[in-house]
């Protein structure tokens, strides 16, 4: 009589639970200023610590949106940005929220 291996069943259940937990992991924000941006990556300087600079590549679902953004206007250096990423893949941007830079306007041309 063949009985199922309880350790194999346990490993399968644990793997399924870990996978489910990983899929519902909250995204982490990184807030800063755009130093450089193109259709492949985004380099951002931290707002709180100017020595901390990170480069993110775009997740496939975000890449299409970024391409459309670059077709219209691009991402200007100096823009404030919030990059959201999964802690399991900290160099992959899952979402990007961009605030264009504030230009000083003193009323003179």
3 state SS of 33: strand
Closest to 42 measured CA to CA, from 1, 75, 85: 75
CB 93 within 8 A of CB 42: yes
Amino acid 73: pLDDT: 87
Residue 3 inside a domain? The answer is no
Amino acid 79: pLDDT: 94
In what helix (H) or strand (E) does residue 44 lie, and over which residues does it extend?
strand 41-46
Average pLDDT, the chain: 82
Residue 55 inside a domain? The answer is yes
Amino acid 106: pLDDT: 46
The range of the structural domain enclosing residue 71 comes to 28-99
Predicted model pTM? 0.70
- CATH code: domain of residue 42: 2.40.50.140
Residue 10 inside a domain? The answer is no
Asked whether the predicted pLDDT for residue 108 surpasses 90, the reply is: no
Q: How far apart are the first and last CA of the chain?
A: 90
Beta bridge partners of 78: none
Structurally, how many domains does the chain consist of? 1
Residue 87 inside a domain? The answer is yes
């Amino acid at each position: 009589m063949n009985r199922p291996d309880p350790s194999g069943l346990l490993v399968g259940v644990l793997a399924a639970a870990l996978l489910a937990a990983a899929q519902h992991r909250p995204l982490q924000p990184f807030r800063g200023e755009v130093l450089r941006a193109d259709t492949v990556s985004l380099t951002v300087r931290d707002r709180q610590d100017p020595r901390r600079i990170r480069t993110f590549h775009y997740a496939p679902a975000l890449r299409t949106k970024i391409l459309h953004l670059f077709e219209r206007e691009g991402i200007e250096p100096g823009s404030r940005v919030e990059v959201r990423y999964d802690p399991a893949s900290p160099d992959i941007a899952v979402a990007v929220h961009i605030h264009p830079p504030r230009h000083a306007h003193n009323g003179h041309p």
